[in-house]
Amino acid sequence: MWEIIVKAFSIIFIIALGYVMKKRGIFKVEDRKVLSNMIFMITLPCVLISSFKSFQYSNSLIISIFVGLGINLVMLLVGYLFARKRDHSTKGLYMMNCCGYNIGTFTFPFVASFLDASSMIIVAMFDIGNAIMSLGGTYAITAGVTNTGDKGSFGEFFKRLFSSIPFITYMTMLLLSLIGIRLPAEVYTVTDLIGGATTFLVMFMIGIIFEIQIPKEDIKDVGAIVAIRYIGSLLFAILIYRYLPIPEMYRKVLMISVFAPNTAIAAVFCQKLGCKPSVAGVLNSICIPISLVCITLLLVFIK
């Protein structure tokens, strides 16, 4: 328990360090692009490669994909139901932000810091289902329901999905593992070294982009969306742990995954739908500390 608390405070310290250095002018918000490129193109793929060192296939991994996909679809429907009598822009805001989980720049480094490497595979499988929705599926459905945005967005969705280096990395590693190909031990030594920087870079970047400025007229909607997300996360965590027919370790990792904050790309899609992208950005900043607390408490109880 003490080790978990120390690691959690270390993560908070790194986020605070990034935030303070931004306020002092040492780093700028624009610097997140450099950090993001380093994470998504270099360190995170290395973490994913290392996680396949002791890979063993099981049907539970496939179930994890459907869990990621199914939870997104349910929360998308919940967002629609809560805003069904509102205008199209508000409806789009709820639908885009009640679902979608920031696995790449939050859950991956968190799991890598607190759990063993094999847990990354489970998170990666969850993220396949999650990515299908958060990288374009949710937007396409929302655009159709609200009659806004670019409804012919499935081409853009596939472009986003298959241009994601982390996604390509774990799909490639999964295929290699399934056909029995193992990389040399020296490769894992290198990826372990490079991937070790992921947690620091991610949390430092979060500190740089962290900012909460909520317009008064949006406070009610922001509060409602945050409440919907985390009540939903709690209910899904209970259902996963009690009823999902997979090993206990898998259930624990999936419980952590559903408490991830919303995705940064939601702000881009919100702009296309005509709703306020700034509110999506604020939601991301608010959800990060909430998710940090929720996952830390969860780890204390399940470890």
Find the DSSP H helices in 117-153. Answer: 119-132, 138-146
The confidence band for 174, taking pLDDT boundaries of 50, 70 and 90, is confident
pLDDT at 154 (0 to 100): 59
What is the rounded CA–CA span in Å between residue 218 and residue 225? 11
Most distant CA pair in the chain, distance: 58
Short-list 64, 68, 80, CA closest to 228 = 80
DSSP 260: P
Q: Compute CA distances 177 → 47, 56, 131, 155, 162, whole Å.
A: 16, 8, 21, 29, 20
Residue 179 sits at φ, ψ, to 5 deg, of: -95, 10
What are the pLDDT digits (tens) for 41-66? Answer: 899 889 889 888 877 778 888 999 99
Say if CB 47 and CB 108 are below 8 A apart. Answer: yes
Does residue 72 carry a pLDDT above 80? Answer: yes
Q: What is the SS3 string spanning 69-99?
A: HHHHHHHHHHHHHHHCCCCHHHHHHHHHHCC
Work out the angle at residue 6's Cα, subtended by the Cα atoms of residues 166 and 32, and round it to the nearest 5 degrees.
Answer: 40
What is the rounded CA–CA span in Å between residue 107 and residue 93? 23
**Other C-beta atoms lying within 10 Å of the C-beta of residue 41:** 12
What is the set of domains in the chain, with CATH numbers? 2-302 (1.20.1530.20)
What are the pLDDT digits (tens) for 205-236? Answer: 888 888 777 778 788 999 999 999 999 999 99
**Least-confidence region, from 39-53, 65-79, 183-197:** 39-53
* The model scores a pTM over 0.75: yes
Q: How far apart are the first and last CA of the chain?
A: 8
Short-list 285, 169, 196, 201, CA closest to 18 = 201
What are the pLDDT digits (tens) for 136-168? Answer: 788 888 888 877 666 555 566 676 667 778 888
